[in-house]
Structure 1
């Protein structure tokens, strides 16, 4: 299984999963947290990754959009997003 990856380049975060590439300006991020629901609370959110029983959900709320990242390594993603 391919894991969701997050990398900071200059003042942007680049999220990659399979062929998807999302670039989020760091100053657009309003809130980062975890979501304990199966599919995420936000109905209009962009979901990245595969939701299954053992994955955690990292929620990135920006000024315009909400992203839910399905990952088995939430602490690494949270650390990168907090930098």
Structure 2
């Protein structure tokens, strides 16, 4: 399982990658944006995924912390469809 799996569960966003599971309530999400920088512009963000070979970086800002998801094009489109 190399890719990130993102699911919608009731009113929560569930992100899974390798042995990590992160659950974020939709009410806590402030912004979802594309991050064009290589390593992510937010230095304190939690990084999920492998940055090498990833073509898209998705920044999810929440009230508590920020997440950068390193994804391929197919995963990016799947995640985008879940969040919109």
Which TM-score band applies after superposition, normalised by the shorter structure?
over 0.9
Indicate yes or no: 2:20 matched with 1:3.
no
- Following superposition, the deviation at residue 80 of structure 1 comes to 0.6
Give the CA RMSD over aligned residues.
1.1
Unaligned runs of 5+ in 1: none
Q: What do the CA deviations read for 1:16-61 (whole angstroms, capped 9, x no partner)?
A: 0000000000110000011111100000000000001442101100
Q: TM-score, with normalisation over the residues of structure 1?
A: 0.92
Query: Partners of 2:54 and 2:9 in 1: how far apart?
Result: 29
Query: Partners of 2:5 and 2:45 in 1: how far apart?
Result: 18
Q: How many residues align?
A: 82
Query: Partners of 1:35 and 1:23 in 2: how far apart?
Result: 21
Q: TM-score, with normalisation over the residues of structure 2?
A: 0.91
Corresponding residue SS for 1:27: helix
Q: Which structure 1 residue ranges, 4+ long, deviate > 3 Å from structure 2?
A: none
Corresponding position of 2:61: 61
Corresponding position of 2:44: 44
